């Protein structure tokens, strides 16, 4: 990465002294006028439990949530913030307050106006309920001097605050619905008659089947959205979605990773295939260890397991060369990623010796101990296939592994959230800034019965100190120094064996115009997407 780009990206992520005036949205297409009307059918293997992104992370929820709920800001493909519910915004010089100046024409799907009271309610609700506790951790309160001005007040400078205003991270909820005193995580309006102010309104939600969204005619951006309807067809069977795309029943498949599909569609003249749109997501595929359980509480056992895994084989053979190896907690494109990591090259002999030294000698049958390995359903090439490969590799060093399948995402998520696992494959996002997507996995204060928190039960006071300090620094150079030390420690103590960066692609019919390619890609509002 060129130094100029790194400095610019890091400065943006740190939001140092950022000030923004009104920015015009980019035109939908310079080549042709977008056509209004039509239904876009999106295929997904991910089953959402509900549709409220304020209390739930992940693809399954974010894909529909970003269509139903609008956020204060959105981002282009160069990491530049763009106006959305907020027409203008300004970060104070001390980095401790962010002022959002809201549009005056924004209304919710039930016709009630969007005001600063809704923004204040939503931000504090996200802070209290979202699993990313560090994302809005420094926020003390939100002032509302008038109905169209919201001032977010923070206890310390918070370099990720502007990025945290993104669609998938900061959905603005209607206070008149969600402020009724009911528990937000289980609110009935998370699944039924869901009301937001985004470009599409919910008309049907059948879990594990489909989500139907129709154009909201009073959307605050004139002339948008172009589409009449968006349908998300949900099935765990990627093969059936691929067939649907070939038949024309499905027009877009985001988050595609299967090498056979990528190879097949790369030469298909009827579709477009692009890796663009996933920079902000920053997805990593990894093997998580439950460090609270023996024998995985022993770091030497974790290191021995790492030495039995050939990550190059996984990336090149199992993933068809589309994936790249990962050795640390930050994706390579992050301005805070460093090369000075502890690595574990394949060495079966040394792995066996380390297990012997740790006191786990092989028995008469060659077996040392037994473990289970779970995996996230719906992405077999990144999850199930790797779990099966690891099972075979660990057998070579005397570890018997049972690969456990979960019926669906909620079942797997419940298992990890309750810490009822030995090892699990997982697919986790950096979410643009380490404060948002990385801290949550390693802070000891975030060991909770919630998916995508510190479900590894990893605890190191030094790591806590490094992350908490880095999260309050505006200067990107200083932040990088703290993150460098953090990366060296966690790759040495190994609560997670990092496997590969996820080769996400969006496959779409050539009839789809403006395939989402911002830093949030498919997790962005689809108001500019159209059918040719």
Q: What is the pLDDT of residues 151-173, one digit of tens each?
A: 999 999 999 999 999 999 999 99
Give per-residue pLDDT as tens, 211-251: 999 999 999 999 999 999 999 999 988 899 999 999 999 99
In which band, very low, low, confident or very high, does the pLDDT at 27 lie, cut at 50, 70 and 90? very low
Query: Which fold is adopted by the domain 25-277+506-531?
Result: D-Maltodextrin-Binding Protein; domain 2 (3.40.190)
Say if residues 252 and 402 touch (Cβ distance below 8 Å).
no
Do 122 and 174 contact (CB within 8 A), yes or no?
no
Of the candidate CATH numbers 3.50.50.60, 3.10.105.10, 3.30.465.10, 3.40.109.10, the domain formed by 283-501 belongs to 3.10.105.10
Non-local (6+) Cβ contacts of 503 within 8 A are 257, 262, 275, 319, 322, 323, 324
- Over range 375-398, report the average pLDDT: 95
The DSSP annotation for 58-82 comes to SHHHHHHHHHHS--SEEE-TTS-EE
Token readout for 158 is 């918070």
Domain extent listing, the chain = 25-277+506-531, 283-501
Residue 13, pLDDT score: 54
The tokens for 525 are 């509002």
Mean pLDDT along residues 297-310: 98
Spacing of C-alpha 30 from chain mean position:
30
Which tokens hold the place of 212? 């139907």
Q: What is the mean pLDDT of residues 480-488?
A: 98
State pLDDT tens for residues 501-516: 999 999 999 999 999 9
20 pLDDT above the threshold of 60: no
pLDDT at 420 over 70: yes
The confidence band for 9, taking pLDDT boundaries of 50, 70 and 90, is low
- Model confidence at 137, pLDDT cuts 50, 70, 90, reads very high
pLDDT digits (tens, 9 = 90+) for 275-284: 999 999 999 9
pLDDT at residue 316, as a whole number: 96
Omega prior to 532 cis, within 30 of 0? no
Residue 397: pLDDT above 90? Answer: yes
The average pLDDT across 415-434 equals 96
* pLDDT per position as a tens digit, 28-64: 444 579 999 999 999 998 889 899 999 998 899 999 9
pTM score? 0.87
Q: Annotate 505-524 with b (16+ C-beta within 10 A) or e (fewer).
A: bbbbbebbbbbbbbbbbbbb
Percent of the chain residues topping a pLDDT of 90: 88
Residue 402: partners with Cβ closer than 8 Å, 6 or more residues away:
370, 371, 372, 373, 391
Q: Edge-to-edge strands of the sheet including 252-256?
A: 200-206, 210-215, 229-234, 39-44, 252-256, 505-509, 271-274
Which candidate, 432, 433, 451, places its Cα nearest to that of 441?
A: 451
Q: What is residue 238's predicted lDDT score, i.e. its pLDDT?
A: 87
pLDDT band at 10 (very low <50, low <70, confident <90, very high): low
Distance CA 334, CA 322 (A): 19
Average pLDDT of the chain? 93
- Encoding tokens for residue 374? 């779970």
Q: Are strands 496-501 and 283-289 parallel, antiparallel or unpaired?
A: antiparallel
- Helix, strand, coil in percent for the chain, rounding step 5: 30, 20, 50
Q: Are 287 and 428 in contact (CB under 8 A)?
A: no
Model confidence band, residue 200 (pLDDT cutoffs 50, 70, 90):
very high
Q: How confident is the model at residue 22 (pLDDT cuts 50, 70, 90)?
A: very low
Q: Is omega for the bond preceding 295 within 30 degrees of 0, making it cis?
A: yes
Least confidently predicted of 4-13, 134-143, 434-443, 484-493: 4-13
* Averaged pLDDT for residues 165-191: 97
Average pLDDT over every residue of 345-371: 97
């Amino acid at each position: 990465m060129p130094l100029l780009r790194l400095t610019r990206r890091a400065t943006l992520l740190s939001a140092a002294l950022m000030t923004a005036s009104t920015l015009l949205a980019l035109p939908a297409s310079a080549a042709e006028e977008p056509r209004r009307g039509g239904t876009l059918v999106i295929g997904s293997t991910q089953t959402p439990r509900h549709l409220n992104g304020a209390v739930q992370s992940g693809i399954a929820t974010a894909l529909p949530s970003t269509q139903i709920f609008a956020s204060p800001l959105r981002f282009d493909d160069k990491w530049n913030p763009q106006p959305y519910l907020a027409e203008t915004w300004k970060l104070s010089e001390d980095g401790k307050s962010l002022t959002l100046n809201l549009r005056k024409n924004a209304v919710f799907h039930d016709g009630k106006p969007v005001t600063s009271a809704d923004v204040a309610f939503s931000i504090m609700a996200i802070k209290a309920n979202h699993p990313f506790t560090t994302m809005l951790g420094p926020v003390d309160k939100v002032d509302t001097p008038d109905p169209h001005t919201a001032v977010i007040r923070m206890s310390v400078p918070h370099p990720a605050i502007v990025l945290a205003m993104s669609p998938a991270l900061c959905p603005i909820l209607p206070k008149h619905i969600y402020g009724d005193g009911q528990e937000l995580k289980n609110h009935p309006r998370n699944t039924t008659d869901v009301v937001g102010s985004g470009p599409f309104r919910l008309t049907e939600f059948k879990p594990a089947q489909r989500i139907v969204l129709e154009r909201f005619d009073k959307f605050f951006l004139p002339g948008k959205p172009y589409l009449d309807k968006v349908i998300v067809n949900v099935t765990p069977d990627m093969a059936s979605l691929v067939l649907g795309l070939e038949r024309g029943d499905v027009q877009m498949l985001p988050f595609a990773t299967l090498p056979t599909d990528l190879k097949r569609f790369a030469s298909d003249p009827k579709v477009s295939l692009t890796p663009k749109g996933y920079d902000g997501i920053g997805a990593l595929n990894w093997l998580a260890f439950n460090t609270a359980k023996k024998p995985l509480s022993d770091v030497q056992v974790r290191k021995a397991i790492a030495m039995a895994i050939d990550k190059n084989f996984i990336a090149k053979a199992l993933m068809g060369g589309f994936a790249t190896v990962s050795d640390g907690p930050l994706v390579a494109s992050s301005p805070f990623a460093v090369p000075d990591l502890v690595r574990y090259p394949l060495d079966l002999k040394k792995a066996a010796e380390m297990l012997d030294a740790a006191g786990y000698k092989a028995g008469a049958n060659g077996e040392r101990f037994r473990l289970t390995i779970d995996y996230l359903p719906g992405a077999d090439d990144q999850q199930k296939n790797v779990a099966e490969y690891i099972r075979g590799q660990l057998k070579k060093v005397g570890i018997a592994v049972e690969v456990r399948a979960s019926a669906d995402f909620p079942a797997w998520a419940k298992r990890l959230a309750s810490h009822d696992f030995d090892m699990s494959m997982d697919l986790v996002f950096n979410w643009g800034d380490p404060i948002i997507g990385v801290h949550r996995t390693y802070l000891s204060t975030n060991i909770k019965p919630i998916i995508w928190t510190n479900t590894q039960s990893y605890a190191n006071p030094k790591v806590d100190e490094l992350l908490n300090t880095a999260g309050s620094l505006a200067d990107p150079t200083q932040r990088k120094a703290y993150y460098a030390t953090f990366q060296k420690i966690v790759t040495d103590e190994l609560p997670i064996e990092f496997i590969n960066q996820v080769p996400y692609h969006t496959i779409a019919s050539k009839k789809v115009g403006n395939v989402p390619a911002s830093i949030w890609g498919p997790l962005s509002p689809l108001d500019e997407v159209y059918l040719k």
